[in-house]
Amino acid sequence: MSNLVDCEVKIIHSAKQVFIEKGFEKAKMQEIAERAGISRTNLNYYFRTKENLFYSIVEQIFDSLIPRFELVLHKQAQNHIERFENIVDVYTDFLRINSDIPFFVISEINRNPKLIVGFIKESNKINTYLEVLKQLLGSALKPNQVNYFMQMPIEELLTIVYGMLFMPHIIEPLVKELYDGDEKRIADYYDHHSLNVKFILRKLLTDN
């Protein structure tokens, strides 16, 4: 990894932690620079404004996820239910590695929802992803099949799905305490949760 890339990774990691702790409005660029171990001048070289840094973090999240979704969507041999189950696997694997992301997203939704909504509306990547998800959901139904789940507005649907996916990571400290820090039991918990989410989605997609 080059020095430039390594420095940018440190900045983004530090910024996420500061945003989680203090929120976008109260986060200071100077504190982010200090967490990253660089000068404010160097921070400005990479990200001139706090908004640019915030949007870069969100872009990085989607840049990491979208190629994995594309692999799932291009598996023509799979039926739609199998694709949705693979999408659950994509999120599960991603969130296990990036367990700070749910805290980052939830903290800003609570503190500054306009910032998140504004970014979503203006992001071509996110809107393209949402459109593909809508199409996949629509094609999951058989002709003339009526399904309550499929009639939901996309906003309601996403809050249900992401709520199920995010919650175990949001309560991660509680999970660790419940299982006395036993890594095997904690890993089993997350495995079981992933299976439960797949089961619920399968029922919602196939029941009339």
CATH assignment of 54-206, given 2.60.120, 1.10.3470, 1.10.357, 2.30.170? 1.10.357
Domain with CATH 1.10.10.60 in the chain: 1-48
Domain with CATH 1.10.357 in the chain: 54-206
Q: Please, are residues 50 and 88 in contact by the beta-carbon 8 Å criterion? A: no
Helical segments of 74-148, H only? 80-97, 101-111, 113-122, 124-139
Whole-number Å distance between alpha carbons of 65 and 72:
11
Average pLDDT of the chain is 82
Residue for token pair 């994509």: 90
pLDDT, tens only, 33-82: 999 999 999 999 889 889 888 888 888 887 888 788 777 777 766 777 78
Whole-number Å distance between alpha carbons of 36 and 10:
5
- State yes or no: pLDDT of 144 exceeds 70: no
At residue 2, what are phi and psi to the nearest 5 degrees? -70, 165
DSSP 142: P
Whole-number Å distance between alpha carbons of 116 and 58:
9
pTM of the model: 0.73
pLDDT, tens only, 175-202: 999 999 999 999 999 999 999 999 988 8
pLDDT, tens only, 1-36: 556 678 888 899 899 889 888 888 888 999 999 999
Q: What is the CA radius of gyration of the chain?
A: 19
Whole-number Å distance between alpha carbons of 77 and 79:
7
CATH assignment of 1-48, given 3.40.190.10, 1.10.10.60, 3.90.1170.50, 1.10.1040.10? 1.10.10.60
Kindly report the CA angle at 202 between 147 and 161, in degrees rounded to 5?
85
Contacts of 59 (CB under 8 A, 6+ apart): 123, 125
